Amino acid sequence: GAGVSQSPSNKVTEKGKDVELRCDPISGHTALYWYRQSLGQGLEFLIYFQGNSAPDKSGLPSDRFSAERTGGSVSTLTIQRTQQEDSAVYLCASSLRQGEQFFGPGTRLTVL
Amino acid sequence: GDSVTQMEGPVTLSEEAFLTINCTYTATGYPSLFWYVQYPGEGLQLLLKATKADDKGSNKGFEATYRKETTSFHLEKGSVQVSDSAVYFCALMKNRDDKIIFGKGTRLHILP
């Protein structure tokens, strides 16, 4: 596709369950970013990939959060043992190195 | 640490009014500055950017000038339209780090 895609678009889960969120970046984009948008905190950076490596994981809020990227393309953000405060919209963006970041539509996560 | 502060909303204006949304930043070095826009039901889009002091970014009638002396990047538009109703985010990127640091967003309502 032409843009960044994310799946699922909506996810409702119960507290304590694990969730996986997927991001398909724009083809050829080497950099991939995860952000979180929540009512109380605004838009926060989570993690950044250059190729398959993650030089900056400084935004991950706890060790329940992890992410991987394979083949320099698709990325998965995993949240283990979800908590209600994890409820947010999770945004993915991709770019060429230090270029404009293009954002996906986001995954709305609701933890009951 | 690096941060972005923008005026809180919501901001409500009548069509054809003049718009200013204030934004100031705190950062070491020479960050790039951005305004992103999120229209209702849509993803985050880059509106305009400026990469060095005194640069003016412009798009769709919106303008913002990178003022290093006042660490500001205020968004302006001379005559707003109903279709400009959206949430606007001021942001910075430290070129070495690549991650974007966002302000909390300003919701704009334009009345016909």
Is A86 strand, coil or helix?
A: helix
- Residues in chain A predicted with pLDDT less than 70, given as ranges, are 1, 97-98
Q: Supply the pLDDT for residue B11.
A: 96
Question: Which residues, other chains included, contact B78 with Cβ-Cβ below 8 Å and sequence gap of 6+?
Answer: B18, B61
8-state DSSP, B72: B
Buried b (16+ CB within 10 A) or exposed e, B68-80: eeebbbbbebeeb
Is there a contact between A42 and B102 if contact means CB atoms under 8 Å apart? yes
pLDDT, tens digit, for every residue of A40-72? 778 999 999 988 988 888 899 999 999 999 988
| Owner of token pair 């950062």 | B27
Mutate to test the interface with A, among B46, B98, B102, B104 (most CBs of A within 10 A): B98
The rounded distance, in Å, linking the Cα atoms of B5 and A56 is 23
Q: Supply the pLDDT for residue A1.
A: 53
Q: Which of A95, A98, A104 sits opposite B43 (nearest CB)?
A: A104
pLDDT, tens digit, for every residue of B2-33? 899 999 889 999 999 999 999 999 998 889 99
Is there a contact between A106 and B43 if contact means CB atoms under 8 Å apart? yes
Is there a contact between A101 and B105 if contact means CB atoms under 8 Å apart? no
- Please, what is the Cα angle at B90 between A63 and B107, to 5 degrees? 95
What single-letter amino acid sits at A92?
C
A34: nearest CA in chain B? B99
Mode of pairing for the β-strands spanning A107-111 and A10-13:
parallel
What backbone phi and psi angles, to 5 degrees, belong to B45?
A: -130, 145
| Owner of token pair 């969730």 | A19
